[in-house]
């Protein structure tokens, strides 16, 4: 990785961020809806203040949010805000900032969805590699391929089935929530154990739903790699099967899977919305969901922009890792 | 002289859905240290199967049914799997056919040499392993820098040399080179052959060169073995093979070589190689043979040693001829 490629990639990342933020700036402003007016009209209906005052309040808040300024100036302010990691203020949870809300919910999503994505990647590829390896025992091959079955079940259904059977019927694990009602979050062992118990079912739903995909793709790659001349030559060299598995077979079969991981990380938020919804967990998905329900435009666009930037950054990181795994693309 | 390689009655079959295909049938071969033999035959005649069987690398549905491969006094067919792992490369080495893809694309050449040494001599120090690898690279006329390079940074000829360098790392007694020059241009072919000859002369190993190129065999081999339908039909010295071939198939092969002084129509061998699933009775070559006798259709010829030192599998020779 030389300086030229590095700067090219970073420039690309910058362009993605710029394009995403410009789109998220203009879309709500093209819309004829006025979120400030909608919010206060709703409050006026429930009778907090007289409808005559509505116009004054809307005008005042528009000024506070800078919505009365000319569009170009608003764009400039907005971009300057993004440069300072300031995504504005939530309309619904005023005066909390969007950044505050994101950082409150992000650790939950990382803790569940990100970790399970990595976990399924490791588990799925390991099983897939073993499933294609001629020397692995038959029972292992059948266990590995049976995960493919779950691939056909939509994650929503898988989550509900798990809640019904394991949570409701067998009462082995809690039905939902991030921790038991009444407990106060702390760093005590009891609380951490309670937290893990609550994360187990959603984690299982996510892992079961995605391991199968890794298993089939890795098994396919594995079969291809085994036919390669360098694997045969490694056998002719008298290497043991462990060394061949690790250095010749796995190393090469993993290459396209790493690209797959980058793509899977892009689906992170979609899984978060579904799973956090089913299991009533806090997180980015739940936050986005409630923002959409309450027309909290600044939070919706803030989260969308944040996720776009996060995923674009992850992709660039994967691109930086890739040449370390495959020397053939190092010099391009 | 005690032969360094002795193949006795080697038999390999592939069990396919259409039936049992006898890919090697009672193959006998003896090779002295420092001797070079070329193995020729049509595609599917069993040349590569013979190489794989000697390495004990026949994979299902194939199986070694019978016979012995004795290298330097050790019978490879009676070794355990672990012992065979250690015998590969150290007693008998294989230089692959597809050298273009025979090197791991994601690790350095050096790592691929060191893991081979390590598998056989785990106690050797890292520095010694590196020194031996570089010595091996130098003996195939590659620069020491190749040690740090990746396969995609090398040309086809260089990759083939790297494969040879890996093959000679542990100074094996027998080297099998499976069409080592088939994907290279003639100039590189010649260089690679010279390299093989050079390392062979330095180490005194016996070499089996598999190929189709009779010219190549004539240039650098001591003996030529001709395979037909899984049997060695003739093993003769190069001189004998090109001046006085014994087996009708060898005669036809030599006749089919184009000659510079006689221009005209190429002489081929009529007919096609038989399917291993449905071999003709008696001598497998009889439907294409120009000197066919009644006996050939029913009685299987045995392999025999002639007074000239050649081994032939044909009814024209020996008792009753």
CB contact under 8 A, A235 and B152: no
Residue A250: both structure tokens together: 């796995």
Contacts of B101 in chain A (CB under 8 A): 228-230
Q: Does B68 touch chain A (CB under 8 A)?
A: no
CB contact under 8 A, A251 and B106: yes
Residue B281 lies in a domain: yes
Please, what are the domains in chain A? 13-83 (no CATH), 98-294 (1.10.3720.10)
CB contact under 8 A, B86 and A328: no
Supply the pLDDT for residue A1: 59
CB contact under 8 A, A237 and B119: yes
Look at A209-218, A268-277, B3-12, B68-77 and tell me which has the smallest mean pLDDT.
A268-277
pLDDT 10s digits, B200-210:
888 888 999 99
Supply the pLDDT for residue A249: 93
**Rounded distance between C-alpha atoms, residue A205 and residue A202, angstroms:** 5
Contacts of A326 in chain B (CB under 8 A): 105-106
Residue B321 lies in a domain: no
DSSP B98: -
CB contact under 8 A, A236 and B96: yes
**Rounded distance between C-alpha atoms, residue B238 and residue B223, angstroms:** 5
Choose the mutation target among A231, A237, A328 for the interface with B, i.e. most B CBs under 10 Å. Answer: A237
CB contact under 8 A, A247 and B96: no
Q: How far is CA B143 from CA B104, B128, B166, B217, in A?
A: 19, 18, 14, 28
Q: Does B107 touch chain A (CB under 8 A)?
A: yes
Residue A289: both structure tokens together: 């969901």
Residue B292 lies in a domain: yes
For residue B149, the chain A residue with the least C-alpha distance is A327
At B7 the three-state DSSP class reads: strand
Give residue B260's domain range. Answer: 5-312
CB contact under 8 A, B102 and A232: yes
Residue B77 class from Cβ within 10 Å (0-12 exposed, 13-18 middle, 19+ buried)? middle
pLDDT 10s digits, B23-48:
898 898 989 888 999 999 888 888 88
Beta bridge partners of B175: B93, B207
Choose the mutation target among A221, A228, A230 for the interface with B, i.e. most B CBs under 10 Å. Answer: A230
End-to-end Cα spacing for chain B: 31
Q: Does B175 touch chain A (CB under 8 A)?
A: no
Residues A107, A308 contacting (CB under 8 angstroms): no
At A23 the three-state DSSP class reads: helix
Quickly tell me which residue has 């294989």 as its tokens.
Answer: B94
CB contact under 8 A, B115 and A325: no
Among residues A106, A90, A119, which one has the least CA distance to residue A310?
A106
Among residues A43, A50, A48, A31, which one has the least CA distance to residue A91?
A43
Quickly tell me which residue has 């069409």 as its tokens.
Answer: B179
Whether A164 has a pLDDT exceeding 90, the answer reads no
Look at A87-96, A110-119, A287-296, B171-180 and tell me which has the smallest mean pLDDT.
A87-96
Residue B318 lies in a domain: no
For residue B122, the chain A residue with the least C-alpha distance is A239
Per-residue pLDDT band at A118 (split at 50, 70, 90): very high
Measured in residues, chain B has a length of 321
Domains: count for chain B = 1
pLDDT 10s digits, B227-282:
998 889 999 998 989 888 888 898 888 888 877 777 777 777 888 888 888 888 88
Residue B66: both structure tokens together: 């019978």
**Complex ipTM:** 0.88
Residue B319 lies in a domain: no
């Amino acid at each position: 990785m030389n300086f030229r490629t590095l700067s090219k990639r970073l420039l690309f990342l910058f362009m993605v961020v710029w394009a995403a933020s410009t789109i998220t700036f203009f879309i709500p402003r093209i819309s004829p809806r006025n979120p400030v007016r909608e919010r206060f009209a709703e409050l006026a209906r429930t009778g907090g203040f007289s409808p005559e005052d509505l116009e004054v309040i809307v005008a005042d808040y528009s000024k506070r949010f800078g919505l009365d300024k000319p569009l170009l100036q608003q764009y400039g302010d907005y971009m300057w805000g993004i440069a300072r990691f300031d995504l504005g203020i939530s309309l619904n949870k005023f005066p909390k900032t969007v950044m505050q809300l994101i950082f409150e919910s992000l650790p939950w999503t990382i803790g569940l969805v990100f970790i399970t994505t990595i976990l399924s990647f490791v588990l799925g590829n390991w099983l897939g590699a073993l499933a294609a390896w001629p020397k692995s025992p038959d029972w292992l091959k059948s266990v590995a391929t049976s995960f493919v079955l779950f691939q056909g079940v939509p994650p929503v259904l898988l989550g509900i089935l798990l809640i019904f059977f394991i949570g409701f019927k067998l009462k082995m694990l809690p039905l939902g929530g991030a921790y038991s009602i009444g407990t106060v979050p702390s760093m005590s062992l009891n609380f951490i154990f309670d937290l893990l118990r609550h994360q187990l079912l959603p984690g299982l739903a996510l892992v079961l739903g995605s391991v199968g995909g890794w298993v089939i793709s890795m098994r396919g790659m594995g079969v291809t790699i085994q036919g390669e001349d360098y694997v045969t030559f490694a056998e002719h060299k008298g290497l043991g099967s462990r060394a061949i598995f690790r250095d010749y077979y796995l190393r090469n079969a993993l290459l396209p899977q790493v690209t797959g991981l980058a793509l899977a990380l892009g689906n992170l938020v979609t899984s978060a919305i579904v799973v956090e919804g089913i299991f009533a967990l806090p997180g980015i998905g739940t936050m986005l969901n409630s923002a959409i329900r309450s027309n909290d435009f600044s939070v919706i666009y803030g989260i969308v922009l944040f996720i776009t930037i996060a995923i674009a950054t992850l992709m660039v990181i994967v691109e930086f890792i890739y040449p370390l795994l495959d020397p053939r693309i190092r010099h391009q | 002289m005690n032969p360094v390689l002795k193949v006795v009655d080697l038999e390999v079959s592939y069990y396919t859905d259409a039936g049992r295909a006898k890919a090697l049938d009672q193959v006998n071969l003896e090779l002295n240290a420092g001797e070079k033999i070329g193995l020729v035959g049509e595609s599917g005649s069993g040349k590569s199967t013979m190489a794989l069987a000697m390495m004990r690398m026949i994979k299902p549905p194939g199986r070694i049914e019978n016979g012995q491969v004795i290298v330097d006094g050790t019978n490879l067919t009676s070794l355990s799997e672990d012992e065979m792992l250690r015998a590969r490369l150290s007693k008998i080495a294989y230089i692959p056919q597809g050298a273009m893809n025979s090197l791991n694309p994601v690790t350095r050449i050096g790592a691929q040499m060191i893991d081979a040494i390590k598998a056989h001599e785990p106690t050797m120090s890292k520095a010694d392993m590196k020194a031996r690898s570089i010595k091996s690279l130098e003996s195939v006329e590659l620069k020491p820098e190749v040690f740090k390079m990746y396969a995609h940074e090398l040309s086809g000829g260089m990759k083939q040399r790297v494969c040879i360098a890996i093959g000679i790392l542990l100074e094996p007694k027998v080297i099998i080179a499976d069409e080592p020059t088939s994907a290279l241009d003639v100039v590189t072919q010649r260089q690679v052959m010279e390299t093989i000859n050079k390392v062979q002369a330095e180490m005194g190993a016996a070499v089996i060169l598999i190929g189709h190129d009779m010219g190549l065999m004539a240039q650098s081999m001591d003996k030529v073995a001709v395979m037909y339908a899984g049997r060695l039909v003739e093993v003769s010295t190069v001189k004998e093979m090109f001046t006085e071939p014994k087996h009708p198939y060898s005669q036809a092969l030599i006749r089919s070589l184009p000659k510079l002084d006689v221009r005209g129509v190429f002489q081929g061998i009529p007919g096609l190689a038989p399917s291993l699933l449905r071999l003709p009775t008696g001598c497998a070559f009889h439907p294409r043979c120009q000197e066919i006798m009644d006996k050939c259709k029913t009685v299987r010829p045995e392999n025999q040693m002639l007074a000239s030192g050649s081994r032939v599998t044909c009814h024209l020779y020996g008792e009753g001829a």
